[in-house]
Structure 1
Amino acid sequence: MVELERAQNPWMSTEQTQSVGADVSAAQPPSTSHWQLGVAERAFSAAGAAFLSAIIVNPLDVVKTRLQAQAAGVPYSHPLSNVISRMSYFGPSMLADICNVRGTMFADLRCSPSCTRAGIQGTVSICPPDCFQYKGTLDVFYKIIRQEGFARLWRGTNAGLALAVPTVGIYLPCYDVFRNQLEEFTARNAPSTTAYVPLVAGSLARSLACATCYPIELARTRMQAFKVIQNGGKPPGVLKTLFGVISHVKTTSNVQSNLQGYRVLWTGMGAQLARDVPFSGICWATLEPLRRKLLGLVGDEASALNILGANFSAAFVAGSLAAAATCPLDVAKTRRQIENDPIRAMKMTTRQTLLEIWRGGGLKGLFTGVGPRVARAGPSVGIVVSFYEVVKYVLHQRYAAS
């Protein structure tokens, strides 16, 4: 009966289920796992959730990364600005001739309406460099859409999908398995520690997923951080970005072996773990009691709509709190991933990076991009967790009916 009660409401803690079924005989047939779902079904549910979330919230991820990269010193100006300033040395007549011949080269050089325009012989409008600087979340949205196109807000979505599907496909099923096993263990051996199980299970599951899929995360951050404008060409994808990182290491360091060169693909993983492990711990430690309370109001008559609402609400709150608390670690992670000097990149530590950010920008620097990060994390965690649990519920109902 205890396992049957947990199957009806699998988010009940072990202590709750023990109190419910303490006076029931052990003749009831136990369930092998709550909701009788295997790892494959859980991974399928998680992959679908990750796919949906990655597409919806990617623009906020791009905005957050641009703000953090700009604070780290990445120059956001049109790539033709320096060329034009150098050409002006030869005089306005020659510059005008070059601009007339290569007019299409400057076709995508668009200024913000608030920027002062400086025409060159009436042929080309050139903007001051500060026209391309980002002044806040909405300003990033506006300038990306105007200067690079609306579709660029989904820059790195392919990398996001390539990252989110396997990462969440590993993360959520492993969290379920770790949580269930740890709750059973603590209930038998140390009941007072059961409340900490979500924190430990979330941290372990996230560490495993992060270490497995980190190179794709590195590619996504670099794709979002750097503005790439090519004349009719397609910006580099995941593989081309990673090959570019490796080739840069090989050309700048002759003493490193091939194996050492590939280590650069895990540059900044310490900062990633330093961000994701606390994020997962805070998130799950907040989410579990919230959704249990919300589902407790529903009782045993759980439906897909109730499960969706309870999980989305709890996950939204938990994800927002965790994102705000771990923002400095996210800033450090971004800074380490966009470092172009491979020698410096492999010598940097998270602690050194945080101190560097603090000296350069203080508290404001540590929380660069906190707005879009929180705005992204709340809905993202809500979508992933609620979709995952609803699909699990639907699959369980199908199995129960068969």
Structure 2
Amino acid sequence: MADKQISLPAKLINGGVAGLIGVTCVFPIDLAKTRLQNQQNGSRLYTSMSDCLIKTIRSEGYFGMYRGAAVNLTLVTPEKAIKLAANDFFRHHFSKDGQKLTLLKEMLAGCGAGTCQVIVTTPMEMLKIQLQDAGRIAAQRKLMPQAVTPGGPVEMKSPTAMQLTRQLLKEKGIAGLYKGLGATLLRDVPFSIIYFPLFANLNNLGKKGGDGPAPFYVSFISGCIAGSTAAVAVNPVDVIKTRLQSLTRGSEEDSYSGVTDCIRKILRNEGPAAFLKGAYCRALVIAPLFGIAQVVYFLGVGEFILSHLPKRNN
């Protein structure tokens, strides 16, 4: 975020607005990323992001690319709000008398932000992945009707997010929604440690004056570069997280008992390159998401909304 002081309510609004706009714009690419990461050797349906999107439109229609979007749009506001506001909070807490933060303190602030956000991120990703991958499983079932069997707690052809939530809570309690929490932490904490310091330093390079904010295009480009860099850096963990959180898979596809088991089986059966599956999709998703977030902060959308709310008379 820019270095100007922003009230907490404005931070929350800015983070939420940025998340809603960003998810709407890039969700189809995120769907392709999930399906590419989940397909294993011997059960490949898609050769690339474009191939995945084309086949999705053909078999599921245009809105098939937005499977699981409702979950994201519902939960992305608190998720992004927590992430962005927490980073600003920790940066403010670590700074003394407005002095520039050291790189270590910037990384610690990012670490705090990444840790806070998993409260919302884990169940959001858990539900989203089931809905996004349902089309891939259905396509496999058509091609290999005897080879694909449901492997999770939900045995519905097209479950909704509410059906999934109720089933998971009934069978496994709240822990069902937090499957893959460890992998989510392993992804989101390093992501934030890389992203926030990198953005802050890139953004500072574009400042025209010593105290004034950088031009909005500098914030946008800095957000895109920092976001895509961090996304690619943590993609191996994102692959692990996606695999662990997938409840339904083909009968010939591996299942995993934990992070270590997942790493071992991927290395043995698919090779190291499998950890880069969907990396370019993830970069294409994250870059505009955080570029948009920085522009929303720069434009002061939250401050504008708050300034036009009717004031109470005491």
Under TM normalisation by the shorter chain, which class is it?
A: 0.7 to 0.9
Task: Say yes or no: does 1:286 pair with 2:203.
Answer: no
How many residues end up aligned between the 2 structures?
Answer: 287
Whole-Å Cα distance in 2 between the matches of residues 329 and 138 of structure 1?
23
Q: Is the 8 A contact 2:216 2:298 kept in 1?
A: yes
What TM-score, normalized to structure 2?
Answer: 0.81
Change in 2 beyond 3 A, CA 1:396/1:152? closer
Q: How does 1:292-371 map to 2 (within 5 A)?
A: 292-295=204-207, 297=208, 302=213, 307-340=215-248, 348-371=257-280
With CA pairs under 8 Å and 6+ residues apart, which has the higher RCO, 1 or 2?
2
Percent of pairs with identical residues: 27
Letter of the 2:282 partner, please give it.
R
- Quote the Cα distance in structure 2 between the aligned partners of 1:300 and 1:199: 22
The 5 A counterparts of 1:25-104 are 34-35=4-5, 37-71=6-40
Indicate if the aligned counterparts of 2:9 and 2:302 stay in contact, CA closer than 8 A.
Answer: no
**Residues 210-242 of structure 1, C-alpha deviation per residue, up to 9 Å, x if partnerless?**
12442122101111112276xxx9943322122
Report the equivalent of 1:140.
52
Inter-CA distance 141–179: structure 2 relative to 1 (3 Å threshold): same
Structure 2 counterpart SS, 1:71: coil
CA distance in 2, matches of 1:389, 1:372: 26
- 2-structure distance, mates of 1:387, 1:237: 31
- For 2:191, the aligned partner's letter is F
Once the two structures are TM-superposed, the CA of residue 245 in structure 1 deviates from its matched residue by 3.2
Match of 2:85 among 151, 162, 173: 173
Equivalent residue of 2:159, what SS? Answer: coil
- CA displacement, residues 255-293 of structure 1 (integer Å, 9 cap, x when unaligned): xxxxx5431211001101101111111111211100011
Greater Rg by CA? 1
**Contact 2:244 2:256 survives alignment (8 Å):** no
Residues 171 and 55 of structure 1: CA distance in aligned 2, closer, same or farther (over 3 Å):
same
Determine the structure 2 residue equivalent to 1:91: none
Q: 2:165 aligns with which of 217, 228, 242?
A: 242
| Change in 2 beyond 3 A, CA 1:213/1:134 | closer
- Runs of 5+ in structure 2 lacking a partner? 139-155, 309-314
Distance 1:270 1:186, change over 3 A: farther
Contact 1:207 1:277 in 2 (8 A): yes
Please give the per-residue CA displacement for 1:289-312, whole angstroms capped at 9, x wherever unaligned: 0001112x355565xxx5421211
**SS in structure 1 at match of 2:300:** helix
Separation in 2, partners of 1:234, 1:307:
49
Q: What is the CA-CA distance between 1:351 and the residue it aligns to? A: 2.7
Q: Cα RMSD (Å) of the superposition?
A: 3.1
Q: Is the 8 A contact 2:134 2:158 kept in 1?
A: no
For structure 1, the residue ranges without an aligned partner over 5 or more in a row are 1-8, 12-33, 77-132, 251-259
Match of 1:154 in 2: 66
Q: How do residues 102-113 of structure 1 correspond to structure 2 at under 5 angstroms?
A: none
Structure 1 stretch displaced more, 236-245 or 148-157:
236-245
Deviation at 1:390, TM superposition (A): 2.1
Deviation at 1:394, TM superposition (A): 5.6
